[in-house]
Homo-oligomer: A and B are copies of this chain.
Amino acid sequence: MRLQDIARGVRAGDIDPVELAENALARAERAADLGAVVHLDPEGALRAARQVRSGPLAGVPVLVKELIEVEGLPFTCGSDVFADRVGEADAEMVARLRAAGAVVIGLTYTHEFAYGCTGAANRRGPCRNPRDRTRMAGGSSSGSAAAVAAGVVPLAIGTDTAGSVRIPAALCGVVGVKPAFGTLPTRGVFPLAPSLDHVGVLAGNVEDAAYAVRVLGRLVGGRGPITPRLAVPARSQECAPEVAEAFARATGFVTEKVWLPDAEEALTDLQGPEAAAVHAGIFPEKADDYQAETRALLEAARQVPGWRYVRALERRRQIVRAAEEALKDVDAVVMPTVPILAPLLGEPGVRPALLRNTRFASLTGLPAVSLPMPVEGPLPAGLQVVGLDETRVLAAAAWLENALDRSL
């Protein structure tokens, strides 16, 4: 059932929000071996559910990434550094969820401090992929993607700085939306790199994800054209064969090509210093409390010289202008969200491949959706849709989801 239908049913009194919450809590318990849900709040959830009467998300059970502050719940960011920390107030995003009638049932796993994309660095160990428990869920919003993929909740909240919503969405086979920069509020989210940090949503289908973004981002306006103008990147993508084949099949009808500027260096030079500034005073002072992977990243981040940061700020402005020029005549450019399938847990050196295709929309702040793309074999793959106009990107993703369904 779609989010709109759930909320409509709850508002009409046809669906019992307490039962929705109880069922979600029970599903979360059953999926405990995934490590996706790191904290359940049955008491708070049931209390909230009993009070739900109205709202565009009335009664919808949601999970929130543990990087986002929720009053009274653990706020550890997946790290021993904040092992005993408890949220003192609701993040703006949580306040908006509650105002819309959603019921927060608990917290989901984050790659420690959101500083990584494998979902394998957290005080609790790795998060597992529901499609194959020996494989990575991706990250950093690992638990939100895995929980939606496992059917625990129809909607979960994540964050995305370089791909952290879209990568786990692709690896777990769900929809992830990283809206345009600023569409969803970051107040109360523990920052990774503030000039790049986005809040995003994960859901089972594009319609639900888009609906949640519109409601929570308070977007107005139409949904754009019915048949979107699409392009693929002019630069050919290095992909795993399964992903390349799936992408070719999914986008065979797209003839338009656009040149996209390379975002890697600028993003790295922005993210590192901003992350190191956020952690200044904690790292290196409490370096031993960080996971080894995070420690290594922060050590490298502290070494990035200021002049490179300054140059990256300028480079970002150039890349934004280049992106606006490249995409001005299409609704969206599509590419594989991640060029590889979910790696086995413990597989080394996968970070560069995982991040390769998501950085562009992170650096530019452009809206991006990852939706499942039909692929041979048991593991999912994601199709990423990026464009200048948020409404049109969401509409293009919905159109693509429908077209891919029909092609099966």
A30 in the interface (beta carbon within 8 A):
no
Min distance, Cβ A307 to any Cβ of chain B, angstroms: 4
Task: Please choose the segment from A67-75, A273-281, A344-352 that sits at the chain B interface, where 4 or more of its residues have CB less than 8 A away.
Answer: A273-281
Min distance, Cβ A31 to any Cβ of chain B, angstroms: 38
Q: Which residues of B contact A273 (CB under 8 A)?
A: 305-307, 309-310
B311 touches A307 (CB 8 A): no
From the candidates B305, B310, B311, B314, name the one contacting A305 in the complex (CB within 8 A).
B305
A257 in the interface (beta carbon within 8 A):
no
A302 in the interface (beta carbon within 8 A):
yes
A280 touches B304 (CB 8 A): no
Min distance, Cβ A308 to any Cβ of chain B, angstroms: 6
Distance in angstroms between the alpha carbons of A311 and B277 in the assembled complex: 6
B304 touches A305 (CB 8 A): yes
B307 touches A276 (CB 8 A): yes
Q: Which residues of B contact A305 (CB under 8 A)?
A: 273, 276, 302-306
Min distance, Cβ A353 to any Cβ of chain B, angstroms: 25
The residues in A between 244 and 300 inclusive whose CB is less than 8 angstroms from any CB of B are: 269, 272-277, 280
Min distance, Cβ A381 to any Cβ of chain B, angstroms: 35
Q: Which residue of B lies closest to A193 (CB)?
A: B310
A301 in the interface (beta carbon within 8 A):
yes
Min distance, Cβ A262 to any Cβ of chain B, angstroms: 18
The residues in A between 156 and 170 inclusive whose CB is less than 8 angstroms from any CB of B are: none
Q: Which residue of B lies closest to A275 (CB)?
A: B307
Q: Which residues of B contact A308 (CB under 8 A)?
A: 277, 306
With most chain B CB atoms within 10 A of its CB, the pick from A301, A302, A304, A311 is A311
Q: Which residue of B lies closest to A306 (CB)?
A: B273
Q: Which residue of B lies closest to A272 (CB)?
A: B306
A301 touches B307 (CB 8 A): yes
Min distance, Cβ A51 to any Cβ of chain B, angstroms: 39
Q: Which residue of B lies closest to A314 (CB)?
A: B277
Q: Which residue of B lies closest to A307 (CB)?
A: B276
Q: Which residues of B contact A310 (CB under 8 A)?
A: 273-274, 276-277, 309
Q: Which residue of B lies closest to A310 (CB)?
A: B277
Distance in angstroms between the alpha carbons of A272 and B269 in the assembled complex: 17
Q: Which residues of B contact A311 (CB under 8 A)?
A: 277, 280
Min distance, Cβ A138 to any Cβ of chain B, angstroms: 27
Q: Which residues of B contact A277 (CB under 8 A)?
A: 306-308, 310-311, 314
Q: Which residues of B contact A280 (CB under 8 A)?
A: 307, 311
The residues in A between 307 and 338 inclusive whose CB is less than 8 angstroms from any CB of B are: 307-311, 314
Q: Which residues of B contact A269 (CB under 8 A)?
A: 306
With most chain B CB atoms within 10 A of its CB, the pick from A269, A272, A274, A306 is A306
Q: Which residues of B contact A301 (CB under 8 A)?
A: 306-307
Distance in angstroms between the alpha carbons of A241 and B306 in the assembled complex: 39
Min distance, Cβ A247 to any Cβ of chain B, angstroms: 35
The residues in A between 81 and 118 inclusive whose CB is less than 8 angstroms from any CB of B are: none
Q: Which residues of B contact A306 (CB under 8 A)?
A: 269, 272-273, 276-277, 301, 304-306, 308-309
Listed from nearest, the 7 A-B pairs whose CB atoms lie closest are: A273-B306, A276-B307, A277-B310, A306-B309, A277-B307, A304-B306, A273-B307
Q: Given A269-B306, A304-B307, 14 more contacts at CB 8 Å?
A: A273-B305, A273-B306, A273-B307, A273-B309, A274-B310, A276-B306, A277-B308, A277-B311, A302-B307, A303-B305, A304-B305, A305-B305, A306-B308, A309-B309
A and B contact pairs by CB, cutoff 8 A, 12 listed = A269-B306, A272-B306, A273-B306, A273-B309, A275-B307, A276-B307, A277-B306, A277-B308, A280-B311, A304-B305, A305-B305, A309-B310
